[in-house]
Structure 1
Amino acid sequence: MARPTKSRYTLIKGKYWIYYPDMPRQGPEPDGDTVRFEPDNIDLVLDLPRFSGKRAEFNKRKNIAVRYEGIDALETHFRETHQELGFANAARDENLRLLGFENVVYSSDSPNKVQSVDNNPLPGYVIASGIEANGRLLGLVYADASDREDGKNVFVEDALLDQSVNAKLLRAGLCYVEPYDTMPMSLIVHLRRLIAQARKEPGAGLWPYEDVSIGNEVVIADLAQLETLIIWPKLFRRLVAYFFEGHAGLEQFDDWIRQDPVHRDDSLQLPDGEKGNIHDTYSISGDSLRLRFNPEQLIITPDPKPLF
């Protein structure tokens, strides 16, 4: 169950990187809800809670990937696949614009690698809640410097959440809400308000074009078709794994997802407060898929910590 009160976060100052000038071909691949971050004080990150027991994963440059808390943008690249690229790239481009990066050019033969940018790295700070299951820093992302003390414990109110890049991407209609129960309930409620407003705005971002939703179902026959769709990214990632195993159509998908309650069939809280799993969030008829709930109505449980 999501925490009922505003939880304490930690403010961590540092720099955002989207390009390594000495080795651009091995540089970051920014997208709509992650960015590389170099903290001024690495110990502040190492001291954060590990929600799934995973240590913070830094590279040799002492950068860590930041996963934007509470949102999920369409995938620009995932296991050599992607979602509908118009809005996936729009979320990425708006993310980098909000962080302050200018004139970003991507490699022609490696379209997720930055070939050049006018200003890199850039100062910023993360109001961090912890380390998530993939070793990434989970938090709210802010551009520019902060006059608050590095490492200061922060209670996040709605107004502070609204200033984050996370919330700005949501208001622009460029991402889904993806609430985990590590986020304070008050902030989840506020994100739900923001996405409700975005869904109602005429022509707001991806919402008029969403292919798989409560009201829209679509036939998904294979991976090539899946890559063209606007669909909840968490479900997309599971469908990618399913098709990579050689399945065709959706006939076996429900059985497949239930076979792994950790990496496929995540535990979550349903809108009525009952416990459920990913398999409770969709309906399949033949090869047609639709959602039973808007993703923001769910509260997802992080992967469990390993027993050993």
Structure 2
Amino acid sequence: MTMLLVLGEYRIIGTEPDGDTIHFVPTDPLAFDRLKDAPPVEVKNGAARVRLDGIDALETHYDRTGPRIRQPAEFGDRAAQELLTFLGFSHVQRIGQKVVSANPPLSPGWLLTQGGDPFKRCVALLGTGTPPGADGTDLQVDVPLLRTTANHHLLTTGLVYPSFYSKLPHDLRDELATVTRQAREAGLGLWPLDATTTPGGAPITGMPSLTEVVILPKLFRRLVDHFNLVEQSLTGFPAYLAGKEDNVEVLSTRTRQLTLAPLVQIIDGAAVRMTAQPEDSIFAEN
């Protein structure tokens, strides 16, 4: 499958980049118009919001359904810093999560994309250095090219989770799954503290406990939304999940589920675990 190559610059001053999102200023303001029959990408004030394909970093400022909350700071902050360093930024200064200065203020780079997500963010593989082709061309993305991207790099460090959607070509997905397992087996990054699939589960006793456990960000977001919208207990969490259409396939068992509910266990009313590893799941595009 081909992806559109877009050249431009990464912009972080005045924004809140984390381990899997950043702003990108395309050289050609109409670059994303070439994505025919694809979900649209919004360009606002010259920049597109970019969501890194194939990965999910710990949340540093989630506030979709209530007050801002974050996952454990160590790995969310480390992933964000690793991404900015990879993209060529140094001496990054923040007030809260907002970047107020950096060297350089803009960093040249390129991205490969198939289109946007439901929030009109560009879902992409991110690169720096010599582009692999001319601006605005469609490229066949193979594993060697994938290995040059920030997406691949972050998974090799163990600082982010894999997050696969159905449009990601299977050979690229397999490569990202392989480096995920290698990072986990080597005990890199967040993996020694990951409680997503541990037998006893992640201890969850309410909203404050979510800031203390390392779990898959998608599970974290579902728990936050449940606590904000339903109740401060796990009692109704399976029913809440059953009402959220996630359309997930578990590769190892070749099973498809309309929701995450069958993949989540509540243990003694005080812990949550998932029954499939993150790299073993593929979500349908919304």
TM-score (norm 2): 0.93
DSSP 3-state at the match of 2:152: helix
State the match for 2:12 in structure 1.
18
Where does structure 2 lack aligned partners over 5 or more consecutive residues? none
State the match for 2:255 in structure 1.
274
Per-residue deviation at 1:259? 2.1
State the match for 2:273 in structure 1.
290
Aligned mate of 1:47, from 34, 51, 61: 34
C-alpha distance in 2, partners of 1:208/1:192?
Answer: 17
Aligned mate of 1:242, from 207, 226, 244: 226
Per-residue deviation at 1:211? 2.4
Q: Which amino acid aligns with 1:225?
A: S
C-alpha distance in 2, partners of 1:31/1:90?
Answer: 9
DSSP 3-state at the match of 2:4: strand
C-alpha distance in 1, partners of 2:43/2:30?
Answer: 12
Q: Is the CA contact 1:50–1:132 (under 8 Å) kept in the aligned structure 2? A: no
Q: Is the CA contact 1:38–1:63 (under 8 Å) kept in the aligned structure 2? A: yes
Per-residue deviation at 1:248? 1.6
State the match for 2:3 in structure 1.
9
Q: Which has the higher contact order (CA 8 A, sep 6+)?
A: 1
Matched, 1:181 2:163: no
Aligned mate of 1:36, from 23, 30, 35: 23
State the match for 1:23 in structure 2.
none
Distance 1:273 1:193, change over 3 A: same
Distance 1:49 1:137, change over 3 A: farther
State the match for 1:226 in structure 2.
210
User: How many percent of aligned residue pairs carry the same amino acid?
Assistant: 30
State the match for 1:299 in structure 2.
282
Matched, 1:85 2:65: no
DSSP 3-state at the match of 1:247: coil
User: Over residues 278-299 of structure 1, what are the superposed CA-to-partner deviations in whole Å (9 max), with x where a residue is unaligned?
Assistant: 1122111222111101011011
Q: Is the CA contact 1:49–1:129 (under 8 Å) kept in the aligned structure 2? A: no
Distance 1:192 1:177, change over 3 A: same
DSSP 3-state at the match of 1:93: helix
Per-residue deviation at 1:50? 6.1
- Corresponding pairs, count: 279
State the match for 1:104 in structure 2.
92
TM-score (norm 1): 0.87
Residues 99-248 of structure 1: pairs in structure 2 closer than 5 A: 99-107=87-95, 111-146=96-131, 148-202=133-187, 204-248=188-232
DSSP 3-state at the match of 2:30: helix
C-alpha distance in 1, partners of 2:46/2:196?
Answer: 39
Per-residue deviation at 1:129? 1.7
Where does structure 1 lack aligned partners over 5 or more consecutive residues? 1-6, 20-26, 304-308
DSSP 3-state at the match of 2:165: coil
C-alpha distance in 2, partners of 1:85/1:70?
Answer: 22
Distance 1:82 1:92, change over 3 A: same
Q: CA RMSD for the aligned pairs?
A: 1.4
Tell me which protein shows more strand as a share of its residues: 2
C-alpha distance in 1, partners of 2:216/2:36?
Answer: 27
Per-residue deviation at 1:200? 1.1
DSSP 3-state at the match of 1:212: coil
Q: Which amino acid aligns with 1:58?
A: V
C-alpha distance in 2, partners of 1:162/1:123?
Answer: 19
Per-residue deviation at 1:147? 5.8
C-alpha distance in 2, partners of 1:214/1:143?
Answer: 37
DSSP 3-state at the match of 2:78: helix
Q: Which amino acid aligns with 1:165?
A: A
Q: Which amino acid aligns with 1:269?
A: E
Q: Is the CA contact 2:82–2:154 (under 8 Å) kept in the aligned structure 1? A: yes
Runs of 4+, deviation exceeding 3 Å:
none
